[in-house]
Amino acid sequence: MYWIKIIEYLNRFLSSNKIDVPAKIVITNDPDHGKLDDYKKVFSLLDRLNIKITTSVFCKIENDHSDLSRHCYKNETHSLEDPAYKEFMQELYEDGHEIAFHGYSQISNTRERFLEGLEIFKSTFGDYPYTYIEHGGNPKKHSIGMCKKETLAIEGLNPKSEYYIWDIIKEKLNCIWAWHDLLDDDYHVKQGEDYFYKYDSMLCFKRYRMNYINFLLHRTKAKSGTFLGYTHFGYDGYQKTNRYNLENWIGDSLRNAEISLLNLIENNYHFVTLRGLAESLRMRKIK
């Protein structure tokens, strides 16, 4: 009996002395439908709240009459070929946001175009991107016209294809999101390392849709979990309910996004970039 009491006491003592790991939030933003004027408002809010995020860019927007080029198109989605947008992205980079690569353009790109995109990125930001986030439809769900041929689920891993890019990814990039790797059906609170895995020596990550934060951190009040989510600052199609506060960023919705962000900050959640998270965990590809 006496020993049981001592063990109980020790357990209580040890658990009350656990070092509190602050909960972390990573917001990744894909550039689909993103326009400079809307982005300026969103990033001015993030700046005011001292939140750094990972936002990805296209180098160009093309038109080949495919479904992909009807989904995102010139002047509806800005890219690095728009001078004011490019300058704004350079400012974000200087301010400590992570700029990730979303591909040369929004349509299927051969390996030559993919390489050209990486060189445009390098000449814009001074280095190759740390993170590459694939764009395009999921072949299991969308029509083939909506799927980018160089994605890893289609031709990107096939050395015989003109859309083969795996060797380039391994050589020039550090971390990728591919295979539409979403965690949406997984309701277990995660730690940072749970989001990463290796594929053929390359560091890959999974992510949630941003609205799952309500279940995973916010509602469960998980003070030591990590939430890695993605959203589109330029997309306005989600329901205008609290659950989707961090999915709707345009017009009046921005005020609701601000309320949710302030609430997370008050509850001591910390915002980091994807690169910041990977580096803090010493996650890297195997060279």
List residues binding Zn ion (CB under 5 A).
30, 32, 135
> Who's near 94: CB < 8 A, 6+ residues apart?
none
CB of 193 to Zn ion, least distance (A): 26
Rounded Cα–Cα distance for residues 274 and 189 (Å): 18
**204 vs 217, beta carbon nearer Zn ion:** 204
CB of 37 to Zn ion, least distance (A): 20
Closer residue to Zn ion in complex, CB, 148/190 = 148
Residue 130: CB minimum distance to Zn ion, A: 18
Measured from the CB atom, the residue of 30 and 247 that comes closer to Zn ion is: 30
Please state the closest distance from residue 63 (CB atom) to Zn ion, in A: 17
Instruction: Closer to Zn ion by CB, 181 or 194: give it.
Output: 181
Q: Please, which residue, 68 or 183, has the CB nearer to Zn ion?
A: 68
d(CA 43, CA 32): 16
Q: How far is the CB of 54 from Zn ion (least distance, A)?
A: 13
Q: Which is nearer to Zn ion, 43 or 101 (CB)?
A: 101
Smallest distance from Zn ion to CB 121, Å = 16
The CB-nearest residue to Zn ion is 135
Nearer to Zn ion, 33 or 218 (CB): 33
Per the CB < 8 A criterion, the answer to whether 211 and 257 are in contact is no
Q: Minimum Å distance from CB 103 to Zn ion? A: 8
Residue 101: which residues within 8 A CB-CB, separation 6 or more? 56, 57, 117, 118, 121, 129, 131, 132, 133, 173
